[in-house]
């Protein structure tokens, strides 16, 4: 019995024509993937009678958008049945995989392929895609909940990029979310929802700018977050970090002490205060060395000037005494002449 046939007997037909068969290896949670979503997946693809995969992203998860980045029809249909954290095995018949021609030299003609896929996460891009296509006038007429959903989608994309270490790209996504929220026309009773969304974006931007080594911008967004919630520990902590990077040690201490009052046993805050104390000590030591060198230089100049002044005084004194000696010894001169 072939490997494909062995697995086929235990699999669910999700297309009705046995073109895509599925076996769940680990259950997922939450909702299934919606059309147009961006999915973060790991996968391995196998040909029949082969132990090694012909394609694999297990070590390098990929974020791919349904309808754009996924070329196998069977994989797209299979992903639409999956939930977050689910692991599933699929069999794709040729018309749902590489077709009659295959993909020489790697994939032979009329090949049935097996894929194991893990869905790590997905982002529902429907609201974002629709928002991007709207005119400014149409965007202004959108209900608040829809606008908040669009901003949250942009922020979630930023979070994914941040986790991957793509800080510049993450920053751009967060700025998009910030721009959307900035132009929201909210009613009095809706302001709290908008401010809550802004707070998260400002915190993300502050952290991202710290990663990009731009402490001034990090401080700006941290203070914007504090403008919405003056006791927010993350905002106080980010501002403290930014001020330390800017060598504004007194301000850094003020921010961190405020954060510590809210969360006195927070390890990150206490460690940051230790770093600050070390930096401040090094700073004072360097300042002391600078002042010592400066005063030493001044003392050296002063000593040279005093020495020159004394020499000048001595020369002046010698010049004045010489004629007086002649005037004081006329008798001696006479005696010497008489002798």
Q: Give the rounded percent of residues in the chain with a pLDDT score beyond 70.
A: 80
pLDDT, one tens digit per residue, over 26-77 is: 999 999 999 989 999 999 999 987 888 888 887 778 788 998 889 899 999 9
End-to-end Cα separation, the chain, in angstroms? 149
- Is a pLDDT exceeding 60 seen at residue 132? yes
- Is a pLDDT exceeding 50 seen at residue 333? no
CATH match for 3-123 among 3.30.70.1250, 3.40.50.150, 3.40.190.10, 3.10.50.40: 3.10.50.40
Which residues does 211 contact at the CB level (< 8 Å), separation at least 6?
A: 162, 167
Instruction: Identify the CA nearest to 164 among candidates 46, 13, 62.
Output: 62
- Least confident range of 46-55, 111-120, 289-298: 289-298
**Phi-psi label, residue 67: left if phi above 0, alpha if psi -120 to 50, beta otherwise:** left
The larger pLDDT score, comparing residue 228 to residue 276, is at: 228
Rounded CA-CA distance 58/178 in Å is: 34
Query: Cα 130–65–160 angle (5° rounding)?
Result: 95
- Least confident range of 1-10, 67-76, 173-182: 1-10
| 191-198: long-range contacts, CB 8 A cutoff, minimum separation 24 | 193/144, 193/148, 194/144, 194/148, 195/228, 197/148, 197/151, 197/152, 198/228
Band the pLDDT of 335: cuts 50, 70, 90: very low
- Is a pLDDT exceeding 90 seen at residue 133? no
pLDDT at 331: 47
Which residues does 157 contact at the CB level (< 8 Å), separation at least 6?
A: 38, 123, 173
Is residue 204 a contact partner of residue 235, using CB atoms and an 8 Å limit?
no
pLDDT at 140: 86
> What single DSSP character describes residue 160?
H
pLDDT at 94: 95
pLDDT at 278: 87
pLDDT at 327: 39
- Least confident range of 89-93, 131-135, 171-175: 131-135
CA 220 to the chain's CA centroid: 15
Is residue 256 a contact partner of residue 269, using CB atoms and an 8 Å limit?
yes
pLDDT at 302: 55
Q: Can you give the pTM of this predicted structure?
A: 0.68
Q: What is the CA radius of gyration of the chain?
A: 39
Instruction: Say if strands 83-84 and 12-13 run parallel, antiparallel, or are unpaired.
Output: unpaired
Query: Cα 288–289–290 angle (5° rounding)?
Result: 90
Map out the domains of the chain as residue ranges.
Answer: 3-123, 127-280
The structure tokens listed for 102 are 């295959």
- Is a pLDDT exceeding 90 seen at residue 328? no
pLDDT at 324: 41
CATH match for 127-280 among 3.30.450.260, 3.30.420.40, 1.25.40.10, 2.60.40.10: 1.25.40.10
Band the pLDDT of 124: cuts 50, 70, 90: confident
């Amino acid at each position: 019995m072939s490997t494909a046939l062995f697995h086929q007997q235990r699999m669910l037909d999700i297309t009705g024509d046995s073109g895509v068969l599925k076996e769940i290896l680990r259950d997922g949670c939450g909702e299934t993937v919606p059309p147009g979503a961006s999915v973060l997946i790991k996968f391995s693809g196998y040909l029949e009678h082969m132990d090694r995969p012909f394609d694999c992203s297990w070590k390098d998860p990929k974020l791919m958008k349904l309808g754009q980045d996924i070329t196998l029809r069977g994989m797209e249909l299979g992903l639409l049945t999956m939930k977050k954290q689910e692991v599933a095995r699929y069999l794709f018949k040729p018309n749902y995989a590489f077709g009659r021609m295959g993909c020489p030299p790697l994939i032979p003609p009329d090949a049935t392929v097996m894929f194991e896929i893990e869905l790590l996460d997905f982002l529902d891009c429907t609201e974002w895609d629709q928002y991007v296509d709207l005119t400014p006038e149409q965007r202004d007429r959108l209900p608040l909940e829809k606008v908040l959903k669009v901003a949250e989608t942009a922020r979630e994309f930023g979070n994914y990029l941040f986790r991957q270490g793509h800080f510049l790209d993450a920053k751009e996504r967060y700025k998009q979310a910030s721009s959307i929220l900035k132009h929201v026309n909210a009613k009095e009773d809706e302001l709290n929802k908008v401010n809550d969304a802004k707070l998260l974006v400002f915190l993300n931007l502050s952290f991202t700018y710290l990663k990009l080594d731009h402490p001034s911008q990090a401080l700006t967004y941290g203070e914007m977050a504090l403008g919405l919630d003056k006791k927010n520990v993350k905002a106080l902590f980010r501002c403290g970090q930014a001020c330390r990077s800017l060598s504004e040690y007194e301000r850094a201490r003020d921010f961190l002490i405020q954060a510590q009052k809210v969360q006195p046993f927070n390890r990150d805050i206490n460690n940051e205060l230790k770093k600050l104390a070390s930096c401040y000590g090094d700073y004072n030591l360097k300042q002391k060395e600078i002042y010592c060198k400066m005063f030493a230089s001044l003392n050296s100049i002063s000593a040279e000037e005093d020495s020159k002044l004394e020499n000048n005084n001595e020369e002046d004194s010698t010049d004045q005494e010489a004629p007086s000696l002649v005037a004081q010894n006329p008798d001696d001169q006479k005696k010497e002449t008489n002798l």
